[in-house]
Amino acid sequence: MNNRARSWVSGVVRRQYFWGIVGILVLLMLNTIKKPDYLAITMNPATGNLAGNLIDILRAAAPILMIAIGMALVIATGGIDLSVGSLMVVAGAVSMEFLKAAGDASSVGAMLGALGLALALSGILGAVNGVLVSVVGLQPFVTTLVMMLAGRGVAKVITSGQNTSASNDPFRWIANGYLFGLPAVFLIAIAIVVLVSLVVRRSALGLMIEAIGINPQASRMAGVKPRGLIISVYTIGGVLAGIAGVFAVSSAMTVDVSRTGYQIELDAILAVVIGGTALIGGKFSLGGATVGAMLIATLDKTVVFLGVSSSATPAFKAAVIIVICLLQSKRVRTFISRRRARGTPPPRPVEPLPVRKEEVPA
Amino acid sequence: MDRPPIVEMKGISIEFPGVKALDDVDFRLFPGEVHSLLGENGAGKSTLIKALTGVYQLDSGTILVEGEERRFRSTAEAQAAGIATVYQEINLCPNLTVGENVMLGHEVRKRFGIDWRATHRLATEALAKLGLGGLDPRRPLSSISLALQQLVAISRAMVINAKVLILDEPTSSLDAAEVAALFRIIRQLRDEGVAILFVSHFLDQVFAISDRLTVLRNGRFEGEYLRGDIDRATLISKMIGKDLDALKALGSSQPTAARDRSATPLLTAVGIGRKGALQPTDIDVHPGEVVGFAGLLGSGRTELARLLYGADRPDSGQVLVNGEPTHLHTPADGLEHGIAYATENRRDDGIIGDLTVRENLILAVQAGRGWARPLPRREQDEIVREYLTMLNVRPADPDRPIKELSGGNQQKVLLGRWLATNPRLLILDEPTRGIDVGAKAEIQEEVAQLAGDGMSVIFISSEIEEVVRLSERIVVLKDHHKVGELVNGPEVTAQQIVELIAEHDDSAEHAPLSEEAA
């Protein structure tokens, strides 16, 4: 290996989300060991659509991908959004009710109306989060916790507590349709990720989000107005949660008011952390959040595929995630590289981690 | 005083990466005496206290407590040896009651848990000793005033039988009557034989309460004096490190102000003030003028600057920019009116550590444009090239995180950030503090140059001769109000300003001055 290639490889390895990619590959390998043709992809000769386990993973990844991107931005400002799952179910509920009332199962107009209504409502609720955090000055954790409870309540009010179903083919296509042989929902999700990344990085939004996340006081002194920024970020998070809600309910054309989006905020926070964004805010990586979301989706599918009993699922998931977090941790990595630098000696008693001298403030 | 000292520190040195915080410092503390530690910001006062109380470890030197060599590894060990500290930010638990705070860790125990009745009785006794008999120990701490909280903190120190009581800026948030009450208690404790180490930047208070004074400067021991042996002007000159003759000699090359002051000033503040920070103050700044703010730390010089920029909201008075009344409520308002403020506290109010030099440089310009109109890369490059060269930033790598630069270079990048906004008025708060002599001269030259180009500058510095050398007009501040304003000229000397600051304040604010046992 020549030097340039080596430095490129070590650059990739040093990326926070490198271990997320490794995690995805290892999970896929496990599945392949269980069933050698796990990775096989077949093409439906009539439609040209691809099918297979990988394709299923892509389709399943779409909602969590949306939530993770929004969460990464919110966390970068030094906040957190626990209400995303509830905003999903609000969006799902309002779109199902609208389509049910519209009745016409082939109307594109009804589909657009449902979509617009869902995104507008989830965006407004996200903006409410933002106002409470930045104008009223409530803690993000408390604000969005309240919204998490209130949102699911609002969804139940919208559907009168029922799991509303509706039929509308254009809306159903969002989750079940294909474009260029791939699931449309995944392509839409990736397009939105690219769009958000462009908006954030091409405008000065990303810079300012990072600035207030790293040092809010200094940012204010530099003339950054945190209020509008924070409201925008929570609003974007709300709209993305609304899109995730539409993705989630359009596959079966039913909103399950108690299950849709349930606990997805925890998955999203994990995806963001695996992607290398620190929970204290500051520098963020949307690419990393994407990798994290793909890992969560792969993990969910693997758990089902390996037949892990449903009671053991949370424990299995937790075990995988803790291993990845350990591999990312600076201490563990220094420890490993130090051992590797010593050559791989015959097994020795494990040495305790070196105690680092407390850093003295300058 | 022939008693042996209770604390004796000899040859104390402490080094932080790149800085010698304390260099061979001696300090002694006698029982039954109030000993003040004096020095400008960064002189090493807090470091010395932290060395004594076990927060920092010594690089060299010895600490004798009651004649025995001790080396505390934690504040708990220092407390066990009878050394208690009451910090400026009071280190009590606001959510506990007064009594719980006084007795924390010393509760009376019975067979099953804590005997609250006995605990509260002891707390009441401890409080009564300080004349706080009427204070109900069951009240939550957060419900009583800051001044009372301070006294509760002292009661707590007395419960652990402290022989040495360290008071770090205990009066900074108290009013005159509260200061008087605190001083009564300090004297009472002193007469009971407690050794008291007192730190305050209010010189009048220091003179009122102290028996002995030690001056530190730039981490070095400057001298120890009995209160009666030194006058204020000498003390200030020891603190800032220029002898009186040198102070008098300065001021030959300063700018003479041949300015027409009848024209509309760029900025006028009328009666601007904020409770607890600055008493109502008037000030004018004309286009192209350099106005210096002289005064010690905590005199109100930074508070005034923050009000003029919009960093804090004034609760009285009015600011006019070019004769137009304006509301400056946020820093963004200040920037919009062409005012830029380079803060004194580089780390908390200045740099965004994880962002690059480039991002830090353009931040204020970008904030003015709003996030939707990003500064084109070409213009960014222009700003980066211009200011990295002009200010001679090392290393000149715009894509390095700013936290990796040295303090002086961070300061230059921040100066560049403000200059890039093309301000009409630039407020520089201690721009030369903590940076080496070369960078200091560069920044001073830069200020003179900017004013020559028509920019107004407010220059704030603890180094009075620096203010005299650069300013056309000097506003002198002390104890949160303006005490004088001088138009600079050959007859104005740093000495004159020191005298203005040192001058007695007879505004009844420091009543304890009158009664003194000595």
| A207, A210, A221 ranked by CB distance to B331: nearest | A221
Do B375 and A218 make contact, defined as CB atoms within 8 angstroms? no
Mind giving me the DSSP string for A213-269? HH-HHHHHHTT--HHHHHHHHHHHHHHHHHHHHHHHHHTTTB--TTTTTTTHHHHHH
pLDDT digits 0-9 by tens, B203-251: 788 889 999 999 988 888 989 999 888 888 888 788 777 665 554 444 3
pLDDT digits 0-9 by tens, A79-109: 999 999 999 999 999 999 998 888 877 888 8
| A215, A223, A361 ranked by CB distance to B331: nearest | A223
Measure the CA–CA gap between A122 and A114, rounded to whole angstroms.
12
Task: Look up residue B388 and give its two tokens.
Answer: 């990295």
Comparing CA positions, the residue from A185, A178, A176, A172 lying closest to residue A99 is: A172
Residues of B in contact with A225 (CB under 8 A): 330, 332, 367
Q: Does B373 touch chain A (CB under 8 A)?
A: yes
| Mean pLDDT within B30-47 | 84
Say if pTM beats, i.e. exceeds, 0.80. Answer: no
Which residue of B lies nearest to A201 if distances are taken between CA atoms? B374
pLDDT digits 0-9 by tens, B169-203: 887 667 777 788 889 889 998 998 999 999 887 77
**B91 or A152: which leads in pLDDT:** A152
| Mean pLDDT within A240-261 | 90
Q: In the prediction, which pLDDT does B250 show? A: 43
Strand partners, B477: B482
Task: Look up residue B341 and give its two tokens.
Answer: 């403020």
Q: How many CB pairs under 8 A join A and B?
A: 90
Q: Give how far A138 is from chain B: nearest CA, Å.
A: 20
Task: Look up residue B3 and give its two tokens.
Answer: 């008693």
| B19, B332, B351 ranked by CB distance to A362: nearest | B19
Do A360 and B352 make contact, defined as CB atoms within 8 angstroms? no
Q: Highest-confidence range of A269-283, B236-250, B403-417, by mean pLDDT?
A: A269-283
Measure the CA–CA gap between A111 and A96, rounded to whole angstroms.
10
pLDDT band at B404 (very low <50, low <70, confident <90, very high): confident
pLDDT digits 0-9 by tens, B354-388: 899 999 999 999 998 888 889 999 999 999 999 88
Q: In the prediction, which pLDDT does A361 show? A: 43
Measure the CA–CA gap between A263 and A279, rounded to whole angstroms.
18
Do A223 and B18 make contact, defined as CB atoms within 8 angstroms? no
Do B331 and A220 make contact, defined as CB atoms within 8 angstroms? yes
DSSP state of A186: H
Termini Cα distance of chain B: 13
In sequence order, the 6+-apart residues with CB closer than 8 A to the CB of A17 are A274, A275, A276, A285, A287, A288, A291, A292
ipTM attached to this prediction: 0.77
Which residues in A107-146 are b (16+ Cβ under 10 Å) and which e?
beebbebbbebbbebbbebbbbbbbbbbeeeeebeebbbb
Which residue segments constitute the domains of chain A, with CATH numbers given?
A: 55-330 (1.10.3470)
User: Can you list the pairs that B40-44 forms with residues at least 24 positions away whose Cβ atoms lie under 8 Å?
Assistant: B40/B217, B40/B239, B40/B240, B40/B296, B40/B297, B40/B462, B41/B297, B41/B433, B41/B462, B42/B218, B42/B433, B42/B434, B43/B216, B43/B217, B43/B218, B43/B219, B43/B239, B44/B216, B44/B218, B44/B219, B44/B220
Q: In the prediction, which pLDDT does B309 show? A: 92
Q: Give how far B219 is from chain A: nearest CA, Å.
A: 13
Measure the CA–CA gap between B249 and B494, rounded to whole angstroms.
9
Q: Give how far B508 is from chain A: nearest CA, Å.
A: 37
Q: In the prediction, which pLDDT does B209 show? A: 92
Interface test with A, best of B47, B308, B363 (most A CBs within 10 A): B363
Which residues of A sit within 8 Å Cβ distance of B? 202-205, 207-208, 210-211, 214-215, 217-225, 229, 282-283, 360-362
pLDDT band at B308 (very low <50, low <70, confident <90, very high): very high
pLDDT digits 0-9 by tens, A212-248: 999 999 999 999 999 999 999 999 999 999 999 999 9
Q: In the prediction, which pLDDT does A353 show? A: 42
Which residue of A lies nearest to B353 if distances are taken between CA atoms? A214
Which residue segments constitute the domains of chain B, with CATH numbers given?
A: 7-246 (3.40.50.300), 285-338+433-502 (3.40.50.300), 346-422 (no CATH)
pLDDT digits 0-9 by tens, B64-90: 998 888 888 888 888 888 898 887 666
Residues of A in contact with B353 (CB under 8 A): 214-215
Q: In the prediction, which pLDDT does A140 show? A: 93
